[in-house]
Amino acid sequence: MTLDYDIIVIGGGHAGCEAAAAAARLGSRTLLLTMDMTKMASMSCNPAVGGVAKGQIVREIDALGGEMGRITDRTSVQFRMLNKSKGAAMWSPRAQCDKTRFSEEWRRTLENIPNLYIWQDAATELLFDRTPQPNTSDNPSAAATRPRICGVRTRMGVEFSCRAVILTAGTFLDGMMHCGAAHAEGGRAGDAASHGITESLRSIGFETGRMKTGTPARLDARTINFKILEPQYGDEKPGKFSFSPETEPVKDQMPCFLVYTSPEVHAILRTGFDRSPLFNGTIHGIGPRYCPSIEDKLRTFADKEQHQLFLEPEGRSTHEYYLNGFSSSLPWEVQWEALHRIEGLENVHIFRPGYAIEYDYFPPTQLRHSLETKLVSGLYFAGQVNGTTGYEEAAAQGLMAGINAHRALKGEEAIVLKRDEAYIGVLIDDLVTKGVDEPYRMFTSRAEYRILLRQDNADLRLTPIGHEIGLISEERYARFLQKKSSVESLVAFARAQSIKADEINDYLKTVGQEPLSQGRKLYDILMRNNVTFETLQEVLPKLRRFIESHGIDAEAIEEAEIQIKYKGYIEREKFIAEKLHRLESIRIPEDFDFFSINSLTIEARQKLNRIRPKTIGQASRIPGVSPADVNVLLVKFGR
């Protein structure tokens, strides 16, 4: 037992678990501080992982060597690939999980990682060393004057020393729960709030704010009339999140169910609006626009007569169901009465009502792209403390913070993913460059390069990086290279193989395509709608023999097909990305005084001076910095 560690991670949620696992696996002696070891990566809200854009993030986490994808696969009860009717850029995996097993699997994983130690306690104070530090940034004078993190003090009075801290406290910092007129301190139902950290950071100069989130009632399945509800099943051939061969697709899937509100339900809910802490001024925190409470929905969409809700199982060994879409902080008795007016829930028993929670966060423009804070050397923020919402966004930040904290201690350059490399790159760049004015949630629309950032090619984009930094094993990397080779060989075969008209015309008619007047390359035929490798194998024996002889699996076949069908779009996005990379290569001195350039607008000078972008590219993405301002910076720092 020691009180001295390389890295201390505060918080055992999704961000903290990924951060601790990555830092320890890379070789840093890591301590994970959590208030409850039985709730590692607890699914405090919905029992699901993935979704639109979020599913892409989980596959990226897995491709880099993170744990979320593998643990999701091991604990799934249902898998669906969303948006299959749309283009490949929109396909997004989503899995319902057994929430208890998910947390247990995370704990088992963490307890078996060398260099990783766990201490159950609450952090109450961060300790700083104000002694001048050696240069660790582009600006020697700034680095020398920055205080450095040197330890953590806990509620039990234990003082741990360290060289880096990753703060991932989620909703626990001065957390306050609301249900009607009832208020109680807490980070979530049944767990105490954390005090002291915000005060510790505010005293050293950090800006703080309050945000709000919420969760719906949990229902007893024994009292739900499922016979009259519409089931929603998983995919007939379920996929999985992890690229690793260690996991398998889910078996014996559990269905979800659709239910609907009604005008009668809405009328009951409105009777509690005067007692809603969301409407009467009790809650001051900013709530998530894209995951609103049911009362927010009624106010924003006052003309809608019904809202669709989803009943989601919380696990295989429990009767608890999550009512997705019915988040609320209304008085419990209003929730109770309204729920009993929903078809199928007339006799429902409620395990616990919905509630809202307010918590402290730190505007993320106070961070570098490595997720290290600008004010304190060695201090990293990840997860909801940065103003984000969602397990997946938190886990991605935790992974990158764990990687970069370790690399900083080794004197190595931070890993910063570009916007055309990963949704994780978009997420972090948005936070650091644009900041947040509401809980940030990832959507595909936030990415400029959706065709490049597909869920299917996350391994091709990021596994080489994961291998280089040490999170991808040699065995897994060899398997990745085999897949990459299979994809390339199948695409090359399609380019080279000529197909005669009489070989293919009957098939083309069956898929609604015009027959050929002369022979064409297989590659060109595959670019047609409804033409797939899977169905072509039935009519082209030489294609089937090639696939079988080369041992090309379904995953590689799908990847090759997408590359062929979307070739033009992919090349166009790559061209645009390469042009914008030129702006990323033009660096701005860290201590540059933007107020010295009078030709910049006042707003641009204020924003640039506050955020302090490192490159012209980053400066161009700051709200309030116009194209004319970018041109001024280009003249100043050279085209």
Specify the pTM.
Answer: 0.93
Report the alpha-carbon distance of residue 396 to residue 216 in Å, rounded. Answer: 25
Phi then psi dihedrals of residue 353, to 5 deg: -75, 170
* pLDDT, tens digit (0-9, with 9 covering 90-100), for 21-75: 999 999 999 999 999 999 999 999 999 999 999 999 999 999 999 999 999 999 9
Domain-located, residue 247: yes
Residues 494 and 542 in one domain: yes
pLDDT tens digit string along 266-286? 999 999 999 999 888 888 888
Share of the chain above pLDDT 90, in %: 84
Domain C-terminal end among 356, 385, 409: 356
Last residue of a domain, one of 536, 570, 604: 570
pLDDT bracket for residue 141 (50, 70, 90): very low
* 238: CATH: 2.40.30.260
pLDDT reported for residue 278: 86
Cα separation, 356 vs 635, in Å, equals 50
Overall average pLDDT of the 358-369 stretch: 96
**Rg of the chain taking only CA atoms, in angstroms:** 26
Instruction: Report yes or no on 556 lying in a domain.
Output: yes
Query: Which phi and psi (to 5°) does residue 173 adopt?
Result: -70, 110
Q: Are residues 555 and 591 in the same domain?
A: no
On whether both 284 and 343 belong to a single domain, the answer is yes
**DSSP for 223-261, written as a single string:** GS-GGGSEEE---SS---S--STT-----SPPPEEEEE-
Domain count along the chain: 3
Whether residue 140 is predicted with pLDDT greater than 50 in this model: the reply is: no
Same domain, 325 and 245: yes
308: three-class secondary structure by DSSP = strand
Residue 133 pLDDT level (bands cut at 50, 70, 90): low
Boundaries of domain holding 231: 218-356
- The sign of the CA dihedral 351, 354, 360, 364 is positive
Q: Count other Cβ atoms within 10 Å, centred on residue 555.
A: 16
Q: What type of residue sits at position 112?
A: N
